[in-house]
Chains A and B, each alone.
Chain A
């Protein structure tokens, strides 16, 4: 799965969370930050994580992804960091499946 495809999924989820009206003037790209650009509430980030886990299932491991991060590292993340992680994991799991 390419980062562009994942970004498209994440964009739909984020617009759902923050509301189409607020998202209207926003260009959600890889460089967009959750905190400074989207002003995402902490609880909305939790909601996004849950949506991603539901969408991609056990192909991604958000618990592992966030477990080693500090509070500030999570808050300062860009959309691109999450997208890159997901795209990388899905490629890795797909590769394992093909090998098997």
Chain B
């Protein structure tokens, strides 16, 4: 299993290289997933293989504490995620600019990375991106308390047996992350990226939100944050655009990367 030690943490990484190279975008495409129960597989099932098939090199990784990456006790703020990504690209010897595709919290990381290392980002695709994580830890904590009290009210073992191996394992992972690491405290301590810093970003940005998403308000504020951003709001979709509107999203991302490639290839 491909593993890389980055920023002192063992990260699970998958690189997809196409079997044939056509109009190859010069820069790799790096996918950053969301928080909690998410991991790189949400990209593997949706966007990663089609992007690799166009001739681009794809890099996917599990954030620390997620998927098959190590779950250290601490280091779950956005700054840690940004440092992990920088160290990962260093370890992979990817020195030039990359295209970042971030979903939900992955979008927050992409934005944090771009303001910290503007020269390392060729473009960004932000899917349902959070511009801040304010209030997020509280939501996760409330959800944990709800699940905890549900479990306390019934027979936990039969409840888990009913859910089967897959969900039980995901819940156990999330429980470990929430209860045995500084995950929630780290998230609570995150300071939003100042608008003045976001405004300094010059790389092309494509943003996609679901019409009924709980974070669609960010889309309305995009003009203020990122004046050059190109926005699509997908009708009928909620927050899980990646799963619910995969075909539409795939088209948007492939078009976007093709445009970026044509810009850099004379």
B41–A43 touching, CB < 8 Å: yes
Contact of A46 (CB < 8 Å), options: B14, B46, B53, B246: B14
Known contacts A41-B169, A43-B62, A47-B68; is-contact A67 B50 (Cβ 8 Å):
yes
A42–B44 touching, CB < 8 Å: yes
In this complex, how many residues of chain A approach chain B with their Cβ under 8 Å: the count is: 25
CA distance A75 to B44 in the complex (A): 11
Residues 50-85 of A contacting B (Cβ, < 8 Å): 50-51, 58, 61-64, 66-68, 70-71, 74-75
A71–B46 touching, CB < 8 Å: yes
Interface residues as binary, B1-43 with A (CB distance below 8 Å gives 1, 0 otherwise) = 1100000000000101111000000000000000000011110
Query: Closest CB-CB distance, B239 to chain A, in whole Å?
Result: 16
CA distance A66 to B42 in the complex (A): 13
Quick check: is B164 within 8 A (CB to CB) of the other chain? yes
Query: Closest CB-CB distance, A71 to chain B, in whole Å?
Result: 5
B46–A47 touching, CB < 8 Å: no
Contacts of B46 in A (CB 8 A): 71
A70–B247 touching, CB < 8 Å: yes
Quick check: is A39 within 8 A (CB to CB) of the other chain? yes
Most chain A C-beta atoms within 10 Å of own C-beta, residue among B17, B40, B41? B41
B19–A42 touching, CB < 8 Å: no
Contacts of A61 in B (CB 8 A): 19
A71–B49 touching, CB < 8 Å: no
Quick check: is B220 within 8 A (CB to CB) of the other chain? no
CA distance A70 to B19 in the complex (A): 20
Known contacts A46-B44, A47-B1; is-contact A40 B18 (Cβ 8 Å):
no
Quick check: is B243 within 8 A (CB to CB) of the other chain? yes
Query: Closest CB-CB distance, A26 to chain B, in whole Å?
Result: 11
Known contacts A66-B49, A70-B246, A70-B247; is-contact A45 B41 (Cβ 8 Å):
yes
CA distance A64 to B18 in the complex (A): 8
Quick check: is B229 within 8 A (CB to CB) of the other chain? no
When C-beta atoms are compared, the residue in chain B nearest to A38 turns out to be: B165
Known contacts A50-B14, A67-B52, A71-B246; is-contact A43 B67 (Cβ 8 Å):
yes
Contacts of B2 in A (CB 8 A): 50
B67–A63 touching, CB < 8 Å: no
The interface of chain A, by Cβ under 8 A from chain B, is 18, 22, 39-43, 45-47, 49-51, 58, 61-64, 66-68, 70-71, 74-75
Interchain Cβ contacts under 8 Å between A and B, 13 examples = A22-B165, A42-B41, A42-B45, A43-B67, A46-B40, A46-B41, A47-B68, A63-B18, A64-B19, A64-B53, A67-B52, A67-B53, A68-B50
With A18-B165, A43-B62, A67-B49 already in contact, 10 other A-B pairs whose C-beta atoms are closer than 8 Å: A22-B165, A43-B41, A46-B41, A46-B44, A50-B1, A50-B2, A50-B14, A63-B16, A71-B46, A71-B243
The interface of chain B, by Cβ under 8 A from chain A, is 1-2, 14, 16-19, 39-42, 44-46, 49-50, 52-53, 62, 67-68, 164-166, 169-170, 243, 246-247
6 pairs of A and B residues whose beta carbons are closest in the complex: A42-B41, A67-B53, A39-B165, A66-B49, A61-B19, A39-B166
